[in-house]
Amino acid sequence: MNIEDVITTCLRAESLKSLMRSGWTIATGVPSSESVAAHSWGVAFISTLVSECLREEGQTIDKDRLLTMALLHDLPETLLSDIPHSAGEYGGDLLTDAKAQAEDSAFESLTASIDTAGRLKDAWREFNALVTLESRLVASADLIDMLMHASRLEAAGMSADLFEQFFVSGKDRLEQLDIRPALQIFERLLAAHRDRLKKSARR
């Protein structure tokens, strides 16, 4: 691996620190307060903590693969920007498939010169396949980080009604991924969200 290629890749990925997540603006109508890089850190952090919960339950976790997937899962947005999930809802399978193909191509373009052993591509494919425990854990952390941010915005005074859609869609997805500690976290975040909804309705 050429060090110059590593530097070039890092500089390209630097843009994720200033690329804001578009879904929050669509949901709330106000500028996003979270960058893609901040979200990726949250996913890696939550993945680490939840993996420790699973270790305590006797499950074996490959932490190297786990964190590699967590840190790389949004890397294609370096070239594609943040395409919100609502785009797939309105565009259907055609747009969803095109988005997946574009992300694959972007990932290949960004990592080809540094992924000489193919380990990064393997991690990317593993994450998208959602078969292994580690990949399902990272996907769960992706959702939990989104809901953590929504909870923080609610606690800061934004209307809980704005984020109901995130909790509804998140519940179904987390149940499919079936990571028990992540579901436990979700239930507590959901309870706090419901309390804020009730208080909002009484005003």
**Predicted pLDDT at 126:** 98
Whole-model pTM over 0.85 = yes
Distances (CA, A) of 114 to 77, 120, 162: 18, 9, 41
**Could you give the domains of the chain?**
3-202 (1.10.3210.10)
Amino acid at 81: S
Which residue, among 142, 187, 181, has the nearest Cα to 56 in the 3D structure?
181
Q: Where are the alpha helices (DSSP H) in the chain?
A: 3-13, 22-28, 36-56, 63-72, 77-80, 85-111, 119-129, 133-155, 164-177, 180-202
**Predicted pLDDT at 107:** 96
Q: Are 179 and 144 in contact (CB under 8 A)?
A: no
**Predicted pLDDT at 86:** 64
**pLDDT greater than 90 at residue 69:** yes
Mean pLDDT of 9-34: 88
Q: pLDDT per residue over 76-105, tens digit each? A: 999 998 776 666 566 677 777 888 899 999
C-alpha gyration radius of the chain: 18
User: For residue 39, how many other CB atoms are within 10 A of its CB?
Assistant: 23
Amino acid at 4: E
**Predicted pLDDT at 54:** 98
Q: Are 195 and 188 in contact (CB under 8 A)?
A: no
- CA–CA distance, 154 with 190 (Å, rounded to integer): 12
**pLDDT greater than 90 at residue 148:** yes
- CA–CA distance, 82 with 171 (Å, rounded to integer): 22
Greater model confidence, 33 or 131: 131
